[in-house]
Amino acid sequence: MKEEKDIILKVEDLHKSYNGAEILKGITFEVKRGETKVIIGPSGTGKSTLLMCINRLVEPDSGRIYLEGDEVLSSKNIHKIRQEIGFVFQHFNLFDHLTVLENVRIGLTKVKKIEKSQATEIALKELERVGLKDKSDLYPAQLSGGQKQRVAIARSLAMNPKLILFDEPTSALDPELIGEVLNVMIDLAKSGMTMVCVTHEMGFARAVADEIIFMEKGVIVEKGPPELMFKNPQKDRTKEFLNKLSQLYGKDENTMSFFEIVGSSWVYMVEGIWVTLFLTLISIVIGFFLGVLLAVSKTYGNKLFYYISYVFIEIIRGTPLLVQLFILYYSLPVIGIRLSPILASIMAFSLNSAAYQAEYLRGAIQSISSGQMQAALSIGMKKWQAIRLIILPQALRRFIPSWTNEFIYLLKYSSLSYIVGAPEIMAQAKFVASRNFEFFQVYLFAAIIYFVLVTIFGEIFRFIEKKIKIPGTLTYARNRI
Ligand SMILES: Nc1ncnc2c1ncn2[C@@H]1O[C@H](COP(=O)(O)OP(=O)(O)OP(=O)(O)O)[C@@H](O)[C@H]1O
Ligand SMILES: [Mg+2]
């Protein structure tokens, strides 16, 4: 049990009326150091009013609030107290005329009177914590909703508050942006920050809440640890409200079966499948044409062509695909070229695949007997004609099995592109899991999808291989090394 001195916030018998209507009817609760409390309840219940009373953005009518034992309501210096209580709003409320860095820094320089260079350092550290250091120079209007909210969180964190109040921080966000904000909040909670969150994201509550407080019509109806509240709420009204929530946000108990996961996430996963297939198909086709060029240059070209293809192939094969993707996505902007995640992925996968396809094809070309070339030349064909009409048609047929392997390889490794933000299968799985916290089951679902895709395409290519094979000849297969 934590001691009395560990109580950061104590709210006692708080009342507030607007125009004669009582909104808060005697609210009492306390928050210990490092705790995360989640407040839920129907609209108009007074949740926002309660949070705003705590830092006196709204003046309560009666009651007591203590911040580490100090009276908040009778305090003469409310500005000092507000510095110690962070507030994150539903609609972000960033200062639109300031850059991201300035938004986070202004409280440090103007309120805490910290010297500018030191304030910049603190601000950048907090921006790094929410993953937005590289957006420091942008203005709020240039950010997505999820990024805005993460800046708002950094702005609160920079003031080094004793606790942070969150008022529905994700409810104004598009569904695909909710996960990134929740992940920042989960990291904060796990790092020991004291938090009071009004939110209906029950996956978040289940992951980090120490207590869930259910409020309705200005009173606390019931409170308890998440396991108890989800599995066995005492009051019928709580049960009813949680049921309604689970219809809206998906089932929240720890008992979601694999089929329920599939049922609630397949729409997102199918979106991911299209992106994955699109990336793979485009990349393998571009990689094929580039690969043929490289293989032919390396086998039949002059010295210059030979060395260009040789160096390109060796560089690509000697560096990890992930590094190639990072260079295209994160390093090209340094010289002013900014690619979208999909375009960067297609370029990285095409170039990578071209190098491998070139080598497989070269192997296939070399496996064709030299007599074929001699015979072609002997009937008067030019060298390029012989390559095009006699050598390549045979080599390409022998190349099909390695091409099948290459396709399967790319299909699986295109999952790397989630790292730069392309919404393929893995990115979608991560998004779904950040909502329902069923990581194992969601990733199992993703693995099954990959397996099914690989099997289907494997069979299709085997069929094609059989169709175009020249009777009595061998095929040639080489695998990635
Ligand atoms: N400044 C105000 N003047 C008059 N009435 C107000 C004011 N602010 C809030 N109210 C009323 O107080 C009640 C509680 O509002 P509050 O915003 O705290 O609810 P809430 O639980 O946060 O709801 P929601 O889930 O919709 O955000 C509502 O009926 C609202 O109309
Ligand atoms: Mg509200």
For 343-382, write each residue's pLDDT tens digit: 999 999 999 999 999 999 999 999 888 899 999 999 999 9
Going by alpha carbons, the residue nearest to atom 18 of ligand 1 is 46
What mean pLDDT is predicted for residues 34-47?
A: 95
CA separation for the pair 209, 55 (Å, rounded): 22
User: What pLDDT is stored for residue 477 in this prediction?
Assistant: 58
Going by alpha carbons, the residue nearest to atom 3 of ligand 1 is 18
pLDDT of 37 above 80 = yes
This prediction has a pTM of 0.63
Ligand 2 (ion): residues with CB under 5 Å are: 48
pLDDT of 9 above 60 = yes
pLDDT of 206 above 90 = no
φ, ψ for residue 202, nearest 5 deg: -75, -20
Would you say the C-alpha torsion 21, 74, 36, 194 has a positive or negative sign? positive
Point out the ligand 1 atom lying closest to the alpha carbon of residue 215.
21
Pick the more confident residue, 21 or 469.
21
Going by alpha carbons, the residue nearest to atom 5 of ligand 1 is 18
pLDDT of 250 above 60 = no
User: Is the beta carbon of 169 within 6 A of some atom in ligand 1?
Assistant: no
**Count of C-beta atoms within a 10 Å radius of residue 221:** 18
Per-residue pLDDT band for 230 (boundaries 50, 70, 90) equals: confident
Going by alpha carbons, the residue nearest to atom 6 of ligand 1 is 18
pLDDT of 475 above 70 = no
User: Is the beta carbon of 414 within 6 A of some atom in ligand 1?
Assistant: no
Of 303, 412, 308, 393, nearest in space to 353 by CA: 412
Going by alpha carbons, the residue nearest to atom 4 of ligand 1 is 18
What mean pLDDT is predicted for residues 318-347?
A: 91
Per-residue pLDDT band for 1 (boundaries 50, 70, 90) equals: very low
pLDDT of 251 above 60 = no
Kindly identify the ligand whose nearest atom is closest to the C-alpha of 23.
1
Residues 6+ apart with CB under 8 A from 74: none
User: Is the beta carbon of 18 within 6 A of some atom in ligand 1?
Assistant: yes
What mean pLDDT is predicted for residues 86-93?
A: 96
Q: Hey, which of 14, 15, 45, 57 would you mutate to test ligand 1's pocket, going by the most ligand atoms within 8 Å of its Cβ?
A: 45
Largest CA distance in the chain: 105
User: Is the beta carbon of 370 within 6 A of some atom in ligand 1?
Assistant: no
Q: Assess contact for 10 and 68: CB atoms under 8 A.
A: no
Q: Describe the strand order of the beta sheet including 21-32 as a list of residue ranges.
A: 21-32, 7-18, 62-67, 70-71
CA dihedral 465, 468, 472, 473 (to 10 degrees): -70
CA separation for the pair 87, 84 (Å, rounded): 10
Token pair of 191, please?
A: 């790092």
pLDDT of 149 above 80 = yes
pLDDT of 137 above 50 = yes
- What's CA 37's distance to the chain center, in Å? 25
User: What pLDDT is stored for residue 466 in this prediction?
Assistant: 85
Strand 219-224, strand 211-216: pairing: antiparallel
Residues 6+ apart with CB under 8 A from 370: none
CA separation for the pair 358, 355 (Å, rounded): 5
**Count of C-beta atoms within a 10 Å radius of residue 8:** 21
What mean pLDDT is predicted for residues 40-52?
A: 95
Which H or E element spans position 466? helix 439-468
Of 252, 438, 112, 246, nearest in space to 446 by CA: 438
User: What pLDDT is stored for residue 2 in this prediction?
Assistant: 45
If you measure from the C-alpha of residue 51 to the centroid of ligand 2, how many angstroms do you get, rounded to a whole number? Answer: 9
Pick the more confident residue, 118 or 434.
118
User: Is the beta carbon of 199 within 6 A of some atom in ligand 1?
Assistant: no
Point out the ligand 1 atom lying closest to the alpha carbon of residue 42.
25
Residues 6+ apart with CB under 8 A from 350: 282, 283, 286, 287, 290
Kindly identify the ligand whose nearest atom is closest to the C-alpha of 49.
1
Per-residue pLDDT band for 248 (boundaries 50, 70, 90) equals: low
Q: Assess contact for 37 and 211: CB atoms under 8 A.
A: yes
pLDDT of 473 above 80 = no
Per-residue pLDDT band for 194 (boundaries 50, 70, 90) equals: very high
What mean pLDDT is predicted for residues 292-307?
A: 93
